[in-house]
Amino acid sequence: MPEQILMTSQAFFHSECLAELETRYEVQRLWEASDQEALISEVAPQIRVVVTEGWAPADFQAKFPNLELIASHGVGYDGVDLGAAQARKIAVTNTPGVLDDAVADLTIGLLIAVTRGMVVGDQYVRNGEWLKANFPLMSHLRGRQAGILGLGRIGLAIAQRLQAFGIEINYHNRRERSDVDYRYFSSLSMMAQDVDFLILSCVGGEETKKIVNRAIMEKIGPNGVLINISRGSVVDEGDLVACLEEGKLGGAGLDVFTTEPHVPEALFKMPQVVLQPHIGSATLQTRIAMGQLVVDNVDAYYAKKPLLTPVA
């Protein structure tokens, strides 16, 4: 009898990876169950591994008395209650490393799209406005200052790309890194004061909740741009809308939102804002690599080998 795994959802997990998982394990597909609680009650005692997409709150974990591994798809694990997992010695894995390039590429795309007005420019051509007048001048990247909030793997991939554009790199982290010579700020607020572009690539969760608020956005200022590819929770979305409306913040490129897929409608009409439907890691190659890492972690667990990417 194959081992039973419970999988919570398949919004992002590539079907090839699910197929591979199903060659070795019996996957209980929670998202397809007409009565999810009934399925959980039926299989819970047999479940030692849960595969999720960044989601496993404490009350969910508590339903599985023999749970030993939460293999999460995605680098962010703010939706997994780590404290609850630790208390029961349940291991948690995520999928770091394999999505850095895709997310960093999108970050640069957002920055250029906002600073050069590319989405508006596209409409300008399609609507025939170019026949009447040239597009207004937009702003330059070279020589400008970027502040990266969270210089982890993704932040570093973003920094490398920004350097190619001649942008100066500043960063704010919990700790200063010894392996880079970018300018370090121990205070987010002081960094915001000094930069043209504030780029959010930090973790989500309680410790960063709404830390980018009106005070920070006003420091980035009317000519500044906020780019968020981390989690919507990091930004006070009400303050963001207000600052953009009032012209206190120049523009924004956003891939993540507080209550996805719901996005504040006030943003829809703003030409200085570029919106994306949380697609940072959404390339075929990246999603297959992420899914494969989940599969490899599950295999390692059953083979009693060290997990590949345990969350510290």
Instruction: Specify the residue, 220 or 256, whose C-beta has the smaller distance to ligand 8YV.
Output: 256
278 as an active site residue: the answer is yes
Tell me which of 176, 207, 245, 260 is the catalytic residue. 260
In this chain, which of 60, 76, 198, 289 binds ligand 8YV, going by CB under 6 A?
A: 76
For residue 29, the minimal CB distance to ligand 8YV (Å) is: 16
Report the b/e string of 207-236 with b at 16+ CB within 10 A: ebeebbebebbbbbbeebbbbbbbbbbbbb
Instruction: Give yes or no for residue 7 binding ligand 8YV (CB under 6 A).
Output: no
Binding mask 254-293 for ligand 8YV (x = CB under 6 A): ------------------------x-xx------------
Tell me how far apart the alpha carbons of residues 290 and 280 are, in angstroms, rounded to a whole number: 13
Burial (CB < 10 A; 0-12, 13-18, 19+), residue 287, is buried
Instruction: Specify the residue, 52 or 115, whose C-beta has the smaller distance to ligand 8YV.
Output: 52
26 as an active site residue: the answer is no
For residue 137, the minimal CB distance to ligand 8YV (Å) is: 35
Tell me how far apart the alpha carbons of residues 158 and 103 are, in angstroms, rounded to a whole number: 8
Instruction: Give yes or no for residue 12 binding ligand 8YV (CB under 6 A).
Output: yes
Instruction: Give yes or no for residue 188 binding ligand 8YV (CB under 6 A).
Output: no
**Cis link prior to 96 (omega < 30° from 0)?**
no
Structure tokens at 134: 């040239």
> What stretch of H or E contains 197?
strand 197-200
14 as an active site residue: the answer is no
Size of the site for ligand 8YV (CB under 6 A): 11
For residue 250, the minimal CB distance to ligand 8YV (Å) is: 26
User: Considering all CA atoms of the chain, what is the largest pairwise distance in Å, rounded to the nearest integer?
Assistant: 71
Residue 267 CA: distances (Å) to CA of 241, 242, 252, 262? 7, 10, 10, 11
Instruction: Give yes or no for residue 99 binding ligand 8YV (CB under 6 A).
Output: yes
Instruction: Give yes or no for residue 54 binding ligand 8YV (CB under 6 A).
Output: yes
The answer to whether the CB of 74 falls within 8 A of the CB of 54 is: yes
Instruction: Give yes or no for residue 96 binding ligand 8YV (CB under 6 A).
Output: no
Instruction: Specify the residue, 144 or 287, whose C-beta has the smaller distance to ligand 8YV.
Output: 287
Tell me which of 231, 246, 265, 287 is the catalytic residue. 231
Q: Tokens 């780590």: give the residue.
A: 82
Angle at CA 244, nearest 5°, toward 142 and 276?
70
For residue 165, the minimal CB distance to ligand 8YV (Å) is: 24
Instruction: Specify the residue, 80 or 195, whose C-beta has the smaller distance to ligand 8YV.
Output: 80
List phi, psi (to 5°) of 184: -95, 135
Tell me how far apart the alpha carbons of residues 195 and 80 are, in angstroms, rounded to a whole number: 33
Catalytic residues: 231, 260, 278
**Binding residues vs ligand 8YV (CB under 6 A):** 12, 53-54, 73-76, 99, 278, 280-281
